[in-house]
A = this chain, B = another copy of it.
Amino acid sequence: MLTAARSLEEKLVAARTASRALATASTAEKDAGLLAIARAVEGGASRILPANELDLANGRENGLSVGLQDRLRLDEARLAGLATAVRDIVALPDPVGGVVRGSNLPNGLKLSQVRVPFGVVGAIYEARPNVTIDIAALGLKSGNAVVLRGGSAAENTNRVLVELLQEALASTGLPADAVQTIDEFGRTGAAELMQARGFVDVLIPRGSAQLIEAVVSESTVPVIETGAGIVHMFLDQGADEQMAVDLALNAKVHRPSVCNALETLLVDARDAERLLPPVLAAMREQGVTIHADDRARAIFADSVPATDEDFATEHMSLDLSVAVVDDLDAALEHIRRFSTHHTESIVTNDIARAERFLAEADSAVVMVNASTRFTDGGEFGFGAEVGISTQKLHARGPMGLPELTSTKWIVRGAGQVRG
């Protein structure tokens, strides 16, 4: 119980101090720490699961939703999965020290921009103990100390997980203080974390849209926003029917509860009668409820009327909003109005309209003839995903380990002065 009697500020100072050791730790040292973490998670069931049972019992008592209870639950299989994910991070390249660019200046100065850890990364999330391991492991590999606020629903689980993480770090000679939980300080602690400029370099909220909005609004520490996905697919005039069915169906039903799942299907009016019936019939076969605007309902009656509220909602369920639009311009206008700037895809055979869509749809990921489900750090080849950024600053789209780093400019001279 390293952390028993510490104040929040003491914990932040300790994290900052630990971050300095991590910043200069070698890849081998960090990887040894990760392997120790994997072993601790795998072998820690006897300590982790009783704490998790306690949180689950509290959750049932406090009316935690079934979905959140499922996210909160850990078991042997899930612990093994977490350990595997940590080992996967060992195999990834260390972003720290990577040279982004460089040059020799005319006066002989040697200039290079190299990746360095942020320092201390804060994370605010809800009822997902897997995030505790995930962020700690990604933070360690990228040389960052982490300060975690995991929410009261998982407080007992997270406390045990952080103890295990700290023990694992210490066992390999890394500073235990590189992982801190501030759950014991409750909402006050979260509020202080958001104002901890100088102690915390960047804050990553993970969870509901409300949580993210609250962090963005209240925080004076820079925030990386990982947002919701009201994801659109536009079936262009002349789109291939089979491709439209395959892509829309995959985007909607492959995993409806995640942020890259399709929420709204738009179709060009001139081909709506050709494309909508097969696409929506396939959706209905998979149990999808169709929320259709008037023009779409006129073509496909097995649907319920769509409201603006539908088009503005990330259902994360087997619900699909459908609208018929006049043309590409109208599709782009609809996307501008309702998009959360996550992922948009066009299904088309027309090269000019494809290029216009890619240029004008203002989202983190824009696609031609591909399922929106591909917006994913793993699919992009990053190996691990910190989240999917829907903001424009620092990182946009799937974030891998390099997105957990900053850079520093290094200037090597031999006595040069400015004339």
Residues of chain A touching chain B, judged by Cβ–Cβ distance below 8 Å, are 20, 23-24, 103, 105, 109, 111, 113, 116, 118-119, 197, 201-202, 216-217, 220, 222-224, 240, 243, 246-247, 249-250, 254, 345, 358-360, 362-371, 373-375, 379-381, 391-394, 396-398, 406-418
Contacts and interface: CB of A to CB of B under 8 A. Distances in A.
Nearest to A195: B217
B105 A364 contact: no
Given A360-B24, A392-B202, A406-B392, A370 B416 contact: yes
A94 to B, nearest CB: 14
A418 B374 contact: yes
B413 A373 contact: no
Pairs of residues from A and B, 3 with the lowest C-beta to C-beta distance, nearest first: A370-B413, A250-B417, A392-B406
B197 A413 contact: no
Contact of A411 (B220, B249, B367, B393): B367
A417 B364 CA distance: 19
B220 A364 contact: no
Given A216-B220, A394-B394, A414 B364 contact: no
Q: How many copies does the complex hold?
A: 2
Contact of A222 (B243, B359, B393, B417): B393
Given A23-B362, A109-B374, A392-B406, 11 more contacts: A23-B359, A105-B380, A224-B393, A243-B415, A345-B411, A358-B410, A367-B411, A370-B412, A374-B411, A397-B409, A398-B409
A47 to B, nearest CB: 35
Count chain B CB atoms within 10 A of each CB in A223, A358, A362 and give the residue with the most: A362
Given A396-B407, A411-B370, A380 B417 contact: no
B366 A417 contact: no
A345 B391 CA distance: 34
Given A119-B362, A220-B216, A381-B105, A414 B369 contact: yes
